[in-house]
Structure 1
Amino acid sequence: MTPLSRENGQDGRDDRGGHTGRQGQTGIETIGIVGTGAMGRGIAQIAALAGLTVRLFDTNASAVTAARDYLADTFAKLTAKGKLDDIAARAALAKISGARALAEFADCDLVIEAIVEKLDAKRALFRELESIVSGRCVLASNTSSLSITAIAAGCSTPSRVAGYHFFNPVPLMKVVEVIDGLRSDPAAGNALMDLARRMGHTPVRAKDMPGFIVNHAGRGMNTEGLRIADEGVASFVDVDRIMREQAGFRLGPFELLDLTALDVSHPVMESIYHQFYEEPRFTPSPITATRLAGGLIGRKAGEGFYRYVDGKQQAPQDAPAPTVALPRRVWISKQNMQAHDAVQALVEQAGVALDTGATPAADSLIVVAPFGLDATTAALDEQLDATRVVAVDALFPLFPSVGTPRRTLMTTPATTRAARDSAHALFAADGVPVTVIRDSAGFVAQRVVATIVNIGCDIAQRQIATPQDIDLAVTLGLGYPRGPLALGDALGAPTILTILRNMYRVLGDPRYRPSPWLARRAQLGLSLTQPDAADADTDTTDTPNSREQPQ
């Protein structure tokens, strides 16, 4: 228990050692920030605007001056745009001062560390701070990838240490992860949760595990997108277009990697992979290692997976549909009846005849719509002529009611050019753009989305965070249209389970093994956001580590 919780007259636990959920005053009014880079400046900005007294320290004294000048300029720009009152801007700037030495943090209620991502450096800093600050001061690390427990292990009082992971740019990214180390006092985390709300941010609570919530969940999009490209299934731009226009994400994986930059994202991928002891779901890609070595790191370098001219992405034009005759008639597999009906409606709309025979006629285009299988396996399962087989991804509606629609087709290695081109012309006949990819278990959207959902389910299974906080963190931190658990519910947990099991069947890769959280809820017909029924009445303010706290 930290002195902070005693000062507030409550220790956050009832007489039985359980967490009471009471959260009085945070006791935090003066904060010190060590490190004046983008993260330190951003935290200082939101803290000062919330009325907190902020002291900035950096080993480079000129960096402190530069940070305060930057914040003065930022407040002036916000005032000029009418987003900030001039009186409030001047008051906020007056709350920010520079510290020439860490000794000036002696009366701080909280110190936030935002320095280089090196464990030894953070431990050394916190050990020094412990000799300066009062016993009531909370020490928080803004680390994105290091263990809070490991950082706190260097302190004589590890219970005062917690994680406080903001996202860049801090003023715009309105989510912050509050991380409990194994020895963190829940009262320290509670105080940080309250402070986040005071600063206008949404806090989510996480157990100390590699990647916490957001960087952990983000493995689904990036690592699977890279795996698809590495298999030669589709180009970078085609993967991005499918994920944006068919699956409804704001950015595709390669656009996102260019935005974050490979000098940041590749080391995180490697770190999480190794911290989870080479878990197959998080396997990094040689694609990013090679491009990082070549300096093709992303938007800030002017070139990554795309080239950038004056900050604008340069992407090739979408390939037009081939100008060939539509197929004479189409036979549609009935293995997926929901998809069968949607494809039939599209074929009828195009004025093409349907082949309703039990088996395809010799001149029919054969259309399959598998979940998780590749076109080859789908053809062999039904003993179809692979030279005429084209698969369509029907996980998302073929006739979307909103947004920019896109359809994805894939072929077997034996599919003829004539069959491929006539299918492309057919599925693009109503003006909807079509992407044709090489054979892949799970197409593109299916395998990426299923991986996102599966990793989100595993975060819930490991009790790293509550289902609600997982979805909240991902939607705010990654900008996904839905959190992974809500996305799984929207598409159908049984469907996601089928996709994963079929991908595992085709590829034999353990990265596609379904999470127990997903498998059990899919089989029981439960929402992926639903905790175990026996835990439904558990106090939701309980921290992820509450059952493990040393008494």
Structure 2
Amino acid sequence: MDTDVTEPDHPRPETADDASPFGPVGVIGAGAMGAGIAQVAATAGHAVTLVDAAPGAAAGAVEKISAALSRLVDKGRLSTDDARAVLERITPAEGLDELPNCGLVIEAVPEDLELKRRIFAELADRQPSTTLLATNTSSIDIDDIAAEVVDPERVLGLHFFNPPPVMQLVEVVHGDRTAQAFVEHATALMTAWGKTPVRCSSTPGFIVNRVARPFYGEAQRIVEEGIADAATVDWVLREKGGFPMGPFELTDFIGQDVNLAVGTSVWEQTGRDERYAPTALQQGLVEAGRLGRKSGRGVYPYAADGSIDRSVEGGEPDVELAERLVGGPVATDPLARTLAMLVNEAVDLVARGEADAADVDTAMRLGTRYPKGPIQWGREIGFDVVARQVAELDEVHPGGRYRPSPALTDGSLS
């Protein structure tokens, strides 16, 4: 993986041992992600200052953390004394001026570039030059966020997954100007926190949100093409592919609006590459207010308890059709088509030097709960087979979406 990045002119931690593993941590933003990150840091032994400009927001988040810790105690996963100690390490605050000197500050505010730039510029002025400044952004370029920071070499991404106390994966994302020493320091620190860090450059969508696009996009196109309905596609990916949820079940769970926004962001950041173009199907769902489980209807209708109402027409899969499609031509086989495009996307990312193969597989298994990483899948299927499958898709659907990655056949991943 390419981590040839700028070295700073001022002192910085050479390794994780140069800064106390229990040094103060600041978390900016007391929403679900910020509160979760604060809980993780405090559980790892850090004194944490949780900052939110909205009056009472940080204090309210601490109350929610207290409730979460109580549930862990009730389940026998945490002792009462340990829960109390974690909570006592978290201090709510309403301004950046209330932060002590920290070894690490993590920003977890809404995805607003100008807001993030202002926060990072102020943090850089207030915090020591050795403080690691991290953003939890899932989509914004790290160098754009650091544009107004005097020493951008200490700015990087620590992209946690929701909910942070449960999800193991953290994407450690470096910009072009991030110093290697800070990347290594952040990686070691996340390991010390009990997380599994993977490294990548600041490419659109990073690893998980970039590589996962075909899982949703191919399913939507298969339905648009009239090959199968949503329930049948979900059944194939779940029962034949081993995915924990089908793509339509998953986007309904995430929120069709949220999933569309992430996909649109990747599409825009890649110069509107046809590979990531939003589908009319998903755009139509969002425009109709069919956002998924949270709105009571998305691809599927939902009962009061949040379960899919299978009694409505289209709720049950056509298993006979599914069995016919699997093993047939790749263009009409939901599983083969999805896997081919997942492998193609992952191989492209590795070939561009944006992450290494092992980190891509780890990220997709932990971040999306795929049964296998796409590079591993590619090796098992055969990269040459995947290349032929993608080329076949390109013949059926010309236009650039289905262009095979040259790395599938150049031997670099064999």
TM range (shorter): over 0.9
Q: Deviations over 1:302-333 (max 9, x none)?
A: 22111222021223334476xxxxxxxxxxxx
Shift of 1:26: 4.3
SS in 2 for 1:289: helix
| CA contact 1:244–1:251 (8 Å) conserved in 2 | yes
Matched, 1:233 2:227: yes
Q: Quick one: structure 1 residues 516 and 214, their matched pair in 2 at CA, closer, same or farther if it must change by over 3 Å?
A: same
C-alpha contact 1:32 1:105 (8 A) present in aligned 2: yes
Aligned to 1:460: 350
How far did residue 68 of structure 1 move?
Answer: 0.4
Partner secondary structure for residue 348 of structure 2:
helix
- Which of residues 275, 285, 295 in structure 2 aligns to 1:281? 275
**Counterpart of 2:392?**
502
Q: Partner of 1:408 in structure 2?
A: 323
> For 1:51, what is the secondary structure of its paired residue?
coil
1:189 Cα deviation from its structure 2 partner: 1.5
Alpha-carbon distance between aligned partners in 2 of 1:319 and 1:508, rounded to the nearest angstrom: 29
1:409 partner amino acid: R
Superimposed CA distance per residue, residues 65-88 of structure 1 (whole angstroms, 9 cap, x where no aligned partner): 110000111111100110111111
Tell me, yes or no, if the aligned pair for 2:24 and 2:101 is still in contact at 8 Å: yes
Partner of 2:307: 312
Q: 1:126 to 1:142 in 2, by over 3 A?
A: same
- Aligned equivalent of 1:174: 168
Judge conservation of contact 2:38–2:48 (CA < 8 Å) in 1: yes
Matches within 5 A, 1:71-90: 71-90=65-84
* SS of corresponding position for 1:165: strand
Match of 2:333 in 1: 443
Quote the Cα distance in structure 1 between the aligned partners of 2:64 and 2:117. Answer: 29
Q: 1:23 to 1:126 in 2, by over 3 A?
A: closer
Matching residue of 1:24: 17
Alignment partner, residue 260 of structure 2: 266
**Aligned pairs for 1:96-175 within 5 A:** 96-175=90-169
Is the alpha carbon distance of 1:115 and 1:121 closer, same or farther for their aligned partners in structure 2, counting shifts above 3 Å?
same
- Does 1:60 find its partner at 2:54? yes
What is the distance in 2 between the residues matched to 1:209 and 1:317? 38
The one-letter amino acid of 2:307's match is K
Q: TM-score, normalised by structure 1?
A: 0.70
Larger radius of gyration: 1
User: Contact 2:157–2:173 at 8 Å: present in 1 too?
Assistant: yes
Equivalent residue runs for 1:290-305 within 5 Å: 290-305=284-299
| Cα distance change of structure 1 residues 106 and 95 upon mapping to structure 2, 3 Å threshold | closer
Q: How does 1:363-402 map to 2 (within 5 A)?
A: none
- Partners of 1:123 and 1:320 in 2: how far apart? 51
Q: TM-score, normalised by structure 2?
A: 0.92
1:51 maps to what in 2?
Answer: 45
For residues 317 and 235 of structure 1, do their structure 2 counterparts lie closer, same or farther at Cα, with a shift above 3 Å needed?
A: closer
Shift of 1:199: 1.4
| Residue ranges of structure 1 left out of the alignment (5+ in a row) | 11-21, 322-405, 411-434, 531-551
Instruction: Give the whole-Å Cα distance in 1 for the aligned partners of 2:191 and 2:35.
Output: 18
Change (3 A) 1:153 1:313: same
- Equivalents in 2 of 1:7, 1:147: separation in Å? 23
Instruction: Give the residue type in structure 2 aligned to 1:125.
Output: I
Q: Give, in whole Å, the separation in 1 of the partners of 2:169 and 2:56.
A: 30
Tell me what 2:4 maps to: none
Shift of residue 486, structure 1, vs aligned partner:
0.3
Structure 2 CA distance for aligned equivalents of residues 495 and 176 of structure 1: 32
Paired amino acid for 1:234: A
Q: Aligned pair in 2 of structure 1 residues 105, 464: CA closer, same or farther (>3 Å)?
A: same
Q: How far 1:291 sits from its partner (Å)?
A: 1.1
Counting matched residue pairs gives 402
Q: Does 1:223 align with 2:138?
A: no
Which SS does the other structure have where 1:441 is aligned? helix
**1:519 maps onto 2:405 in alignment:** no
Question: What amino acid does structure 1 have at the position aligned with 2:338?
Answer: V
Q: Determine the C-alpha separation between the residues in 2 that align with 1:3 and 1:42.
A: 34
Structure 2 counterpart of 1:92: 86
Partner deviation per Cα, 1:21-77 (whole Å, 9 max, x = no partner): x65344451111111111001101111111011101111121111100001111111
1:39 lines up with 2:66 in the alignment = no
Question: Which moved further from structure 2: 31-40 or 96-105?
Answer: 96-105
Residue 362 of structure 2 aligns with which residue?
A: 472
Return the letter of the residue paired with 1:513: R
Shift of 1:441: 2.1
* 1:322-345 Cα distance to aligned partner (Å, 9 max, x none): xxxxxxxxxxxxxxxxxxxxxxxx
| Percentage of identical aligned residues | 37
| Gap runs ≥5 in structure 2 | 1-6
- Mean alpha-carbon deviation: is it higher for 187-196 or for 69-78? 187-196
Q: Which string of whole-angstrom CA distances, capped at 9 and with x for unpartnered residues, describes residues 380-413 of structure 1?
A: xxxxxxxxxxxxxxxxxxxxxxxxxx95325xxx
1:129 Cα shift? 1.4
Change (3 A) 1:26 1:57: same
Q: Are the counterparts in 1 of residues 233 and 322 from structure 2 also a CA contact under 8 Å?
A: no
C-alpha distance in structure 2 between counterparts of 1:7 and 1:118, whole Å? 28
Tell me if the contact between 1:142 and 1:163 (Cα under 8 Å) persists in the aligned partners: yes
Instruction: Return the letter of the residue paired with 2:316.
Output: Q
Going from structure 1 to structure 2, the CA distance change for 1:25 and 1:258 (only over 3 Å counts) comes to farther
Compare the two structures and name the one with the higher helix fraction: 2
**What is the CA-CA distance between 1:497 and the residue it aligns to?**
1.6
